[in-house]
Amino acid sequence: MTVLLSFGCTDKAEADYKKCEQAESSGKFEEALAACQAASAADPRSPAGELATKKTIKLYDKVDKARKAKVAEDARAAEQAKLDLADSKVQWRQESTPPKDPHGFSEKCMEADRAYENSYSCTPKDPTGVNPQDPFPFKEECLLMAAQRGCKPMHPDSPSKMFCCTK
């Protein structure tokens, strides 16, 4: 009877590689990348170390993609917060549409572009806090709301509270 004992044949990278796979399957790509890098460093020539090295390359792409998605989501959230704040300060009201245009606003809008047939006004929701000397209170908020709605100023050379919109 022959008994073979092998000493020192353990794969030092295996434990970290398993952590890498578990983290990746859970969608924790940065954690997976760190574990795969640790596995590669522990034993780069072992089977688990070689697999970890190959997986590291793919994980760099996944981490980069996840970071870019996070930046884009943060930007969308910040933009939405600005829109929500603007919406809380100003009121957007339709002033005229072609069949009902007592002041000629719709005609004025359509002079430049026939698609912009409706006129809207942007006024403060709470006029008590507005400086009476300010000709266009909450101008930034109104311009932001107009851009979000696809509208343009009725008088581009001298912005006013009136906007031309397609809807």
* Residue 119 and residue 54 share a domain: no
Residue that terminates a domain, selected from 49, 83, 117: 83
What type of residue is 40? S
CA distance 151 to 118: 9
Q: What pLDDT is attached to residue 160?
A: 84
How is residue 1 annotated by DSSP?
-
**pTM of the entire structure?**
0.63
Q: What pLDDT is attached to residue 51?
A: 95
Return the beta strands (E) in 46-165 as ranges: 90-96, 118-124, 152-153, 162-165
* Residue 62 and residue 28 share a domain: yes
Q: Which domain holds residue 132?
A: 89-165
* Residue 59 and residue 94 share a domain: no
Q: Does 1 reside within a domain? A: no
Q: What is the bridge-based pairing of β-strands 152-153 and 118-124?
A: unpaired
145 and 86 in contact (C-beta within 8 Å)?
yes
119 and 94 in contact (C-beta within 8 Å)?
yes
Q: What pLDDT is attached to residue 8?
A: 56
Mean pLDDT by 10 residues, the chain (167 residues): 53 93 95 95 93 95 95 96 93 86 85 87 88 87 92 85 88
Judged on CB neighbours under 10 Å (0-12, 13-18, 19+), 166 is middle
How is residue 110 annotated by DSSP?
H
Q: What pLDDT is attached to residue 9?
A: 65
Q: Does 60 reside within a domain? A: yes
* Residue 94 and residue 76 share a domain: no
**94 CB neighbour count, 10 Å cutoff:** 13
